[in-house]
C-alpha cells in the first residue's frame, strides 16, 4: 500500500489545454457527473458524497458589483467609527478595531494583535478589493488583468476573513464589560452588522460563476 | 463493498480543486498546472495525511496552555485578576448571560475539541483506506470546514475588551500568554483541515482500472 500522491501529466501539451466541460467533477470525492446548466437559484449536489458540485448564477454581475461596492463603503464606516463608547465615572473610552488592536500590541500581545488585524481587517478588505478588481472589468466587458493570481488570492483570503466572528465577538465583549460601566453602542457596531450581511450575500454567489464569466472567450 | 460511481481518473479527466475547471488528463510522471488558474493539479493533495496529522499534533500541544494559562488580565483599584477561557464562560453564566455563555462554550471549547477529534478520525480512516461510513465522513469534513473559524471568537473578545476597558489606574484589560496559544490552536486546526484531502475518504483503484477492481 502506498500513500504517495499521484501527479497527473498529459501525454502532450495539447491535452492540458483541452477543457472537458461535458463533465462535472466533484471536488471532494472525484466522482464524475455529466455537466449541465443549473437554474439561477439551483444547487447541484454530488450524489455520492453530498458536496456542492455547482451553483446557479444567483446574482448577475452588476448586482454583485453593487453589493461589493456597498460593502466597501460600509467597511470604511466600520473601520473609523466607534464600535462602543464606555463611560466610567465620567471618563470615556471610545473603542474602534484599530485602537483595540494597537492597545493589544502595546500591552505585549503582538502576535494576537496581528492575528486580529489580519482576520478582522486586512483579509476582509482584501476580499472586497479583489472582488472589485475582477468585477469592474467584467461588467465593463474588458479582460481582467492578472485574473488567475487575483482569483487564487481571493480564494485564499475568503478562508481567513472572519468579519462574522468578529461581529459576535463585539456582542460578547459588550455584555462582559456592561457590568461595571455604562456602554453606549456606536455606529461601528451597526456598520459591522451590515458588512456581515453584505459579505454573506456576496459569498453566496461563489467563485465558480466568476471563473466562468471571466474566462469566456 | 464498492460504489459504482465513475471517478475522474477512470474517465481520463481531472477537476481543478482551485477553480473547478474539468480537464482531459492521463496518468503519468511529472507535474502540470491548470491552464485557467495556474494551480498545481494533483489527483490527491501531496502528503495530505502527514500534513494534517502534523498540524493536529501542534494543535493538541498548544491546546493545554490555551486552556490552562490565563487569556486575559484585568486591573482595577481592587487589584489584578487573571481569567482563563473557562473562567470567562463561568463569568458570563453567573452574570445571567446564559445564551452567550453557551455560544462561547461551543465556539471555544466544543468546536476545537470536535475539530481535533474529527480530523484525527478522518486522517486515521484515510490512512487505512477505509470504506467505513464514507458519506458521513464526507459530511463531517464539511462540518469541520464550516465551523472552523468560529473558534477565533475569544481572541476577538479579549482584543476588544483591551480596547474598550482602558481607564488608566481605575480599570484596564491586558492580553495574557494563553490567548496566543489559543489563537495558535485555531490557526493550526484550520491549517489541519485545509491540509486534509476529502478525496482520500473515497479510495479507489489505480487510475486506468475499473472502479471496484481494488480489493
Domain total for chain B?
1
Which residue in the set A18, A172, A215 is minimally distant from B100, CB to CB?
Answer: A172
| Maximum distance among all Cα pairs of chain A, rounded to whole angstroms | 77
Q: Whole domain around residue B86: which residue ranges?
A: 47-196
Which residue in the set B7, B43, B45 is minimally distant from A8, CB to CB?
Answer: B43
pLDDT for the residue numbered A151: 93
pLDDT for the residue numbered A11: 37
pLDDT for the residue numbered A209: 80
The answer as to whether B108 is a domain residue is: yes
pLDDT for the residue numbered B129: 86
pLDDT for the residue numbered B19: 83
pLDDT for the residue numbered A4: 42
pLDDT for the residue numbered B203: 84
With CA atoms as reference, the chain A residue closest to B76 would be: A180
CATH of the domain at B104: 1.20.140
Which sequence spans correspond to the domains of chain A? 13-55, 61-214
Are residues A83 and A189 in contact, defined by beta-carbon separation less than 8 angstroms?
yes
Long-range contacts, stretch A96-105, CB < 8 angstroms, 24+ apart: A96/A188, A96/B163, A97/A121, A97/A166, A97/A188, A97/B163, A99/B163, A100/B159, A100/B160, A100/B162, A100/B163, A100/B164, A101/B159, A101/B163, A103/B162, A103/B163, A103/B166, A104/B158, A104/B159, A104/B162, A104/B163, A104/B175
A103 vs B contacts (CB less than 8 Å): 162-163, 166
- Could you give the residue ranges of the DSSP H alpha helices within A84-146? 97-106, 110-117, 123-140
- A159 and B CB contact within 8 Å: yes
The answer as to whether B41 is a domain residue is: no
SS3 content of chain B, % helix, strand, coil (to 5): 55, 15, 30
pLDDT for the residue numbered B1: 40
Assign B28 a pLDDT band (cuts: 50, 70, 90).
low
The answer as to whether B13 is a domain residue is: no
> Does B22 contact A208 at a Cβ distance shorter than 8 Å?
no
Q: What pLDDT tens digit does each residue of chain A (217 aa) get?
A: 334 444 444 433 334 445 666 788 888 888 888 877 777 777 888 888 888 888 776 788 889 999 999 999 999 999 999 999 888 888 888 889 999 999 999 998 999 999 999 999 999 999 999 999 999 999 999 989 999 999 999 999 999 999 999 999 999 998 888 776 788 889 999 999 999 999 998 888 778 888 888 877 5
Substitution target from B82, B124, B128, B155 for chain A, most A beta carbons within 10 A? B155
The answer as to whether B42 is a domain residue is: no
- A6 and B CB contact within 8 Å: yes
The answer as to whether B3 is a domain residue is: no
Q: A82 to chain B, minimum CA–CA distance in Å? A: 10
Residue A185 has phi, psi (to 5 degrees) of -70, 140
Q: What is the pLDDT of residues B55-85, one digit of tens each?
A: 999 999 999 999 999 999 998 888 899 999 9
Amino acid at each position: 500500500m502506498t500513500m504517495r500522491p499521484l501527479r497527473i501529466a498529459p501525454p502532450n501539451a495539447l491535452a492540458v489545454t483541452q477543457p472537458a466541460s461535458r463533465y462535472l467533477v466533484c471536488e471532494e470525492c472525484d466522482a464524475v457527473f455529466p455537466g449541465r446548466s443549473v437554474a439561477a437559484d439551483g444547487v447541484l449536489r454530488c450524489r455520492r458524497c453530498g458536496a456542492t458540485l455547482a451553483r446557479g448564477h444567483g446574482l448577475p454581475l452588476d448586482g454583485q458589483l453593487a453589493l461589493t461596492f456597498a460593502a466597501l463603503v460600509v467597511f470604511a464606516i466600520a473601520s473609523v467609527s466607534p464600535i462602543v463608547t464606555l463611560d466610567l465615572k465620567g471618563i470615556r473610552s471610545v473603542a474602534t478595531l484599530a485602537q483595540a488592536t494597537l492597545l493589544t500590541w502595546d500591552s505585549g500581545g503582538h502576535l494576537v494583535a496581528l492575528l486580529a488585524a489580519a482576520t478582522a481587517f486586512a483579509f476582509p478588505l482584501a476580499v472586497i478589493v479583489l472582488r472589485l478588481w475582477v468585477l469592474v472589468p467584467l461588467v465593463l466587458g474588458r479582460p481582467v488583468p492578472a485574473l488567475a493570481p487575483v482569483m487564487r488570492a481571493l480564494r485564499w483570503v475568503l478562508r481567513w476573513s472572519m468579519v462574522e466572528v468578529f461581529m459576535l465577538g463585539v456582542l460578547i465583549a459588550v455584555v462582559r464589560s456592561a457590568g461595571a460601566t455604562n456602554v453606549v453602542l456606536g455606529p461601528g457596531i451597526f456598520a459591522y452588522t451590515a458588512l456581515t450581511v453584505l459579505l454573506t450575500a456576496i459569498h453566496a454567489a461563489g467563485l465558480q460563476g466568476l471563473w466562468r464569466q471571466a474566462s469566456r472567450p | 463493498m464498492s460504489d459504482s460511481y465513475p471517478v475522474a481518473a477512470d474517465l481520463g479527466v481531472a477537476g481543478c480543486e482551485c477553480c473547478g475547471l474539468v480537464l482531459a488528463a492521463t496518468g503519468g510522471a511529472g507535474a502540470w498546472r491548470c491552464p485557467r488558474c495556474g494551480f498545481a493539479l494533483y489527483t490527491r493533495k501531496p502528503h495530505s495525511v502527514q500534513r494534517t496529522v502534523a498540524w493536529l499534533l501542534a494543535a493538541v500541544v498548544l491546546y493545554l496552555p490555551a486552556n490552562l494559562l490565563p487569556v486575559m488580565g484585568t486591573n482595577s483599584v481592587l487589584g489584578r485578576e487573571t481569567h482563563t477561557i473557562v473562567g470567562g464562560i463561568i463569568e458570563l453564566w453567573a452574570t445571567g448571560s446564559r445564551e452567550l455563555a453557551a455560544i462561547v462554550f461551543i465556539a471555544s471549547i466544543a468546536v476545537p475539541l470536535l475539530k481535533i477529534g474529527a480530523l484525527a478520525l478522518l486522517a486515521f480512516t484515510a490512512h487505512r483506506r477505509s470504506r467505513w461510513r464514507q458519506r458521513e465522513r464526507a459530511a463531517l469534513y464539511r462540518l469541520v470546514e464550516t465551523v472552523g473559524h468560529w473558534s477565533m471568537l475569544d481572541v476577538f473578545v479579549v482584543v476588544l475588551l483591551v480596547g474598550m476597558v482602558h481607564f488608566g489606574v481605575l480599570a484596564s484589560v491586558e492580553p495574557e500568554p494563553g490567548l496566543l496559544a489559543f489563537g495558535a490552536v485555531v490557526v493550526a486546526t484550520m491549517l489541519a483541515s485545509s491540509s486534509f484531502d476529502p478525496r482520500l475518504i473515497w479510495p479507489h483503484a489505480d487510475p486506468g482500472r475499473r472502479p471496484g477492481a481494488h480489493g
